Amino acid sequence: MIENPNRILLVGMMGSGKTTVGRELARTTGWPFLDNDALLRELTGREPAAIDAVDGEAALHAAEIAALGAALSRPGPAIIAVAGAIVDDDAASMELRSGANHVVWLRASPPTLRVRIAAGTGRRADARDLGWLMARALEREPRYLAVADQVIDVEDHRPRAIANAILLAMEARSSA
């Protein structure tokens, strides 16, 4: 078990497995799992896709940043699934790196993301386009790298194996 409780922040593109891995980490650690979309719904009373459709992408990103702030302001350890676009905002990226956070980039290839997004509900339509995914992944890669303490390629790994790799890195960090 982790000796020095921290927050584990999961970053990555939509479809990278932040919610699935976050739930597995919460099950393993007993820490609460805070999902950005759930916090956004709690704060706004609206679905993320509805905010995007009615108010636009900028309003959606502002609500995602507010949800991240709400998650980070909660006391104690937590597993936090961070909205994919958070890294597009410099101030929000700095928040990821502040405090006792262990930031993990769950990296997946655009073809894998497309398959996973198509299987989900409430996903934005353009995110199912391989060209859009490739452009966003390329654009965000240096930003994810800049905030990540750990990078995990999720292509062929089960959620439990990913969670275990994160916890091992956390233990190594605590004992260093």
Sequential DSSP letters for 17-63: SHHHHHHHHHHHH---EEEHHHHHHHHHSS-HHHHHHHH-HHHHHHH
What is the pLDDT confidence band of residue 115, given thresholds at 50, 70 and 90? confident
**Can you say how many angstroms the Cα of residue 115 is from the centroid of all Cα atoms in its chain?**
18
- The Cα 10–Cα 46 span in angstroms is 23
* Residue carrying structure tokens 């900028």: 58
Query: Is the distance from CB of 156 to CB of 107 less than 8 angstroms?
Result: no
Query: At residue 114, does pLDDT exceed 80?
Result: yes
What pLDDT does 159 receive?
95
Mean pLDDT (whole number) for 68-81: 94
Please give the domain boundaries of the chain with CATH numbers for all domains. 7-34+78-175 (3.40.50.300)
Query: At residue 94, does pLDDT exceed 60?
Result: yes
Nearest residue to 63 (alpha-carbon basis) of 104, 94, 92: 92
pTM over the 0.75 mark: yes
**Can you say how many angstroms the Cα of residue 160 is from the centroid of all Cα atoms in its chain?**
17
pLDDT in tens, 145-163: 999 999 999 988 999 999 9
Antiparallel, parallel or unpaired: β 78-81 and 7-11: parallel
Percent of the chain whose pLDDT exceeds 90: 66
Instruction: Classify residue 152 by its DSSP letter.
Output: E
The lowest-confidence range among 66-80, 81-95, 116-130 is 116-130
pLDDT in tens, 2-42: 445 489 999 999 889 999 999 999 999 999 999 999 999 99
- The Cα 95–Cα 39 span in angstroms is 17
- The Cα 151–Cα 144 span in angstroms is 9
First-to-last C-alpha distance (Å) of the chain? 15
